[in-house]
């Protein structure tokens, strides 16, 4: 991507200011990022040395959540704020359980949308829309959404590492309610979110310093929330076992857990949970 910056500039992409989606891709070792994103990642690692592990545990939670939903019979998914395509995408996990599962990705990052379209070009039962989480109709009413997803049957919605980029004054819980209301009974909702609740020093201070550094990116509203705030996102829905856990711990029996995560689950600095609409 570094040699193709003119193409992205023509699409209106700011390649000089780091983007959360591209930075996350860089944390995971992806190639869909620019020099500005990689420079930010280098600084982030100085502030929170195990940030790559934090990103990896978030990705692990996504895999476990999709696997859980698919094994429980969910065969259509809406991945909001999906970011850039990388190893272990939602459709890849869902298709391992059910090859006929349908997956729609949504993101407001132009690079993520273009790259995802290219990735999915030959993958049946998948699609992507460009839309803003805070404008639910831009996603829920999009032609691709209505064509791919059947809102008369349960849908698995993913908001992984998304809501912490929306500050309290923008009321992400209000927008989330719009999505929850649009879903039929039996639908699932998976969320992971940054926190320092229960996190010991020095990781707590490192995390807060790391979060503060996002003020100089395209996503300046990065906000850590405590467990009570996190639980409010699921109001009216039934949490699946084991309830609220750190990302490295949620249903850790489904995949191998590294020693660092097992000994220090709070160092994942992200809560995770999946809930069912009654």
Instruction: Provide the terminal-to-terminal Cα distance of the chain, rounded to the nearest Å.
Output: 44
Superfamily of domain 54-276: Vaccinia Virus protein VP39 (3.40.50.150)
Nearest 5°: CA angle at 138, between 163 and 183? 70
Residue 82 neighbours by CB under 8 Å, 6+ apart: 89, 90, 105, 106, 107, 112, 116, 128, 158
**pLDDT value at position 258?**
66
- Per-residue pLDDT in tens (0 to 9) along the chain, 278 residues: 544 655 666 555 677 889 888 898 899 888 878 889 999 999 999 999 999 999 999 999 999 999 999 999 999 999 999 987 776 899 999 999 999 999 999 998 887 888 888 888 889 999 999 999 999 999 999 999 999 999 999 999 999 999 999 999 999 999 999 999 999 999 999 999 999 999 999 999 999 999 999 999 989 999 999 999 999 999 999 999 999 999 999 998 876 666 666 678 999 999 999 999 99
**pLDDT value at position 140?**
97
Quick one: which of 240, 104, 227, 231 has its CA closest to 176?
231
Backbone φ and ψ of 46, nearest 5°: -75, -35
Say whether the peptide bond before residue 32 is cis (omega within 30 degrees of 0): no
Pairing state between β 270-276 and 238-239:
antiparallel
């Amino acid at each position: 991507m570094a040699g193709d910056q003119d193409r992205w500039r023509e699409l209106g992409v700011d390649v000089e200011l780091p983007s959360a989606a591209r930075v996350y891709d860089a944390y995971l070792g992806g190639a869909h990022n620019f020099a500005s994103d990689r420079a930010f990642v280098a600084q982030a690692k100085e502030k929170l040395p195990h940030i790559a592990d934090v990103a990896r545990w978030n990705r692990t939670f996504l895999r476990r959540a999709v696997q859980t939903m698919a094994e429980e019979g969910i065969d259509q998914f809406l991945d909001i704020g999906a970011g850039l395509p990388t190893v272990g995408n939602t459709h890849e996990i869902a298709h391992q359980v059910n090859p006929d599962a349908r997956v729609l990705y949504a993101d407001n990052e132009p690079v993520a949308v273009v790259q995802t379209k290219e990735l999915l070009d030959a993958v049946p039962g998948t699609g992507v829309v460009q839309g803003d989480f805070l404008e639910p109709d831009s996603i829920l009413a999009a032609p691709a959404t209505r064509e791919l997803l059947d809102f008369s049957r349960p849908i698995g919605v993913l908001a992984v590492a998304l809501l912490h980029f929306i500050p309290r004054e923008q009321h992400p819980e209000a927008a989330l309610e719009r999505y929850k209301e649009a879903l039929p009974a039996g639908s699932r909702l998976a969320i992971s979110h940054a926190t320092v609740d229960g996190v010991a020093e020095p990781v707590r201070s490192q995390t807060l310093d790391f979060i503060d550094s996002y003020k100089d990116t395209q996503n300046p509203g990065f906000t850590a929330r405590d467990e009570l705030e996190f639980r409010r996102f699921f109001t009216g829905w039934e949490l699946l076992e084991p309830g609220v856990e750190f990302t490295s711990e949620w249903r850790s029996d489904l995949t191998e857990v590294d020693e660092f995560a097992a000994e220090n689950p709070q160092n994942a600095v992200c809560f995770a949970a999946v809930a069912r609409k009654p």
